Amino acid sequence: MKLSTRDAVGVFQKPDPRRAGILIYGPDSMRVALKREAYLEALLGPDAEQDMRLSRMRGADLRKDPAQLVDALKAVGFFPGQRAVFVEEAADGTTQAIKAAFQEWREGDAVLVVTAGQLAARSSLRKLFEGHTNAYAAAIYPDPPSRAEIEAVLAKAGLTDIGSDAMRDLGDLARILDPGDFAQTVEKLALYKLSDPAPLSGQDIADCAPVTTEAVLDDAIDHVAEGRVTEIGPIMQKLDGQGVQPVGICIGAVRHFRALHLAACHPKGTDAGLSAIRPPVFGPRRNRMARQAGAIGMHRLEEVLGILMDTDLGLRSSRPVPARAMLERNLIRIAMLVGRQSSR
């Protein structure tokens, strides 16, 4: 039986022990492994390994000794509870052994859980599971997670009080992080919110999300984007003391103002534009960037990007130029330009 993406969410959350087995396959081995772990934990509980209710075997070993699969499925465990047999790295060479095991399988036997890499539509292993009336075939693709999948990760971590804005931010974060990194971030959020009755906020997500840029550099670019000319000199000195090179500051400024330009000209509005940028921004910083984009405007942002492009070319030029002085002068120029626009 072929599982759709929507139906797969429910199957992985509440596996049916009356099913003979499931094939979990896809091009991303980490995503497949995470889904397999979730399925086995939901099916067997947390102590299956200690209770010897989970048997493991490799696809290569199964090809050498096909009979071991039937023996494992039929074995009676010493401890009570649901049992499962996990076959990893399966391929079409294991199809006949698994087909024979299905013919011998009866309700009450162990559930067969098989993982594989990418399988073509003509794969005999895939056809076996898709055509079986009492087994599942679940394809795991590197697509952005659905809302239901995100909610399942949140529920597992114990996070329930989540507003619409926080859920939007979590969706943005899930689209750029690997599933394992996203799950770890959610667990970090759960610990961060432990004993805190307030709903999960964008600021909480920003505090726990993986750090991508230095805070001092963000502050410097914010001073420029908000027209605070007098603040630029001191913070440039601070960046200089930290060893941040002018080219790095210019690259950060270009990235920031490109994000503002995308937000300002997005047909669905500023929020949609900020959701489209990578990496996404959360909480108060997102609100701050939205205000900056609205205050400066699309056309003035295009002028700013032109100045920054010329600055970047100058910094990378082979001619000897006082790089830091040139960058600081142009950032002040941008701040004055932005300040005039914002004051109108």
Over the stretch 82-101, which tens digit does the pLDDT of each residue have? 999 999 999 999 999 999 99
pLDDT in tens, 272-284: 788 777 767 777 7
Interval 295-323 mean pLDDT: 87
Residues 276 and 306 in one domain: yes
The total number of structural domains in the chain stands at 3
Q: Residue with structure tokens 């900056």?
A: 292
Residues 203 and 276 in one domain: no
Q: Identify whether the C-beta of residue 254 lies closer than 8 Å to the C-beta of residue 308.
A: yes
- Burial of residue 215, with CB atoms counted within 10 A of its CB: 0-12 exposed, 13-18 middle, 19 or more buried: exposed
Question: Which of the listed residues 139, 161, 177 is the one where a domain comes to its end?
Answer: 139
Q: What is the pLDDT of residue 213?
A: 43
* Backbone conformation region of residue 9, classed left if phi is above 0, alpha if psi is from -120 to 50, else beta: alpha
Nearest Cα to Cα of residue 23 among 107, 89, 106: 89
**pLDDT exceeds cutoff 60 at 225:** yes
Residues 268 and 332 in one domain: yes
pTM of the model: 0.60
Residues 35 and 111 in one domain: yes
pLDDT in tens, 157-215: 888 888 788 888 888 788 777 788 888 889 999 999 888 888 888 888 878 877 654 56
Nearest Cα to Cα of residue 21 among 136, 122, 120: 136
Q: What is the pLDDT of residue 214?
A: 57
Which amino acid is located at 91 in the chain?
A
Question: Which of the listed residues 139, 164, 194 is the one where a domain comes to its end?
Answer: 139
Residues 114 and 184 in one domain: no
User: What b/e sequence results for 96-111 when a residue is b if at least 16 CB atoms lie within 10 Å of its CB, and e otherwise?
Assistant: ebbeebbeebeeebbb
> Residue 181 is part of which domain span?
147-208
Q: What is the pLDDT of residue 254?
A: 93
Residues 233 and 174 in one domain: no
Q: Residue with structure tokens 């990893």?
A: 88
What kind and span of H or E run contains 299?
helix 298-315
- Which comes out higher in pLDDT, residue 237 or 279? 237
- Which comes out higher in pLDDT, residue 25 or 286? 25
pLDDT in tens, 3-44: 887 888 889 989 999 999 999 999 988 889 989 998 999 999
